[in-house]
Structure 1
């Protein structure tokens, strides 16, 4: 059991960092793999719920589709940390805080996490539309 001695030990407190500056200096990459796998399961369950005409299963599937968006993750290029995208605003690793303190210019690449998630969503919608078009043509 560790004992804190105020004469010998120094307390370490988290230094406050402005959220806007934090978002500008973060180098995060979106990772939608878990959400995509969950949506594939939701799609199969959705088709099954329509086959058996079960309204409760349909609503549960719609709820699962909404919840699967929460499974999008991010990966920090500075420290290697991976977590859910909802927690990305609180991620302040040492390299990010250092760049904020020396007032470094924001990085151009990768784009902001929200932009990456919107791009992944657009790509998934386009792929789904193309699949639907090509599937019904043949």
Structure 2
């Protein structure tokens, strides 16, 4: 290997990336917990998640090697963020509706219907439409099925 290739591979060493990921996830978890507690919604967090968060914060791991642990931490952070963000409710409903419409249109043979699932403008349009319909009809259209 020449010197340039060796330098390129040393940038992506596993030790640095493992420590960066654990630091990044740890700081994101601490920030999410603080925001939930400041919003006075900590009582809405399920007991298992609370125990998991406490255990992780007490442990303070320097490296996270387990992919399963990383996935669980990311899911926990998403749960905490969903608790404090009321604006995510219509967006989640818009994503759900975009997927439903995309699968319906693709079953009819529409060639680019699969791309609607990742189209942010289409998802936002569905979210705004569902929010407007819920205000108009006065029903829980935005609620999870």
Fold similarity call, TM over 0.5: no
Question: TM-score, normalised to structure 1's length?
Answer: 0.24
**Hey, which of these two has a bigger chunk of strand by percent?**
1
- Please state which structure has a larger fraction of its residues in helix: 2
Which has the higher relative contact order, 1 or 2, with Cα contacts under 8 A spaced 6 or more apart? 1
> What TM-score, normalized by structure 2, do the two folds share?
0.23
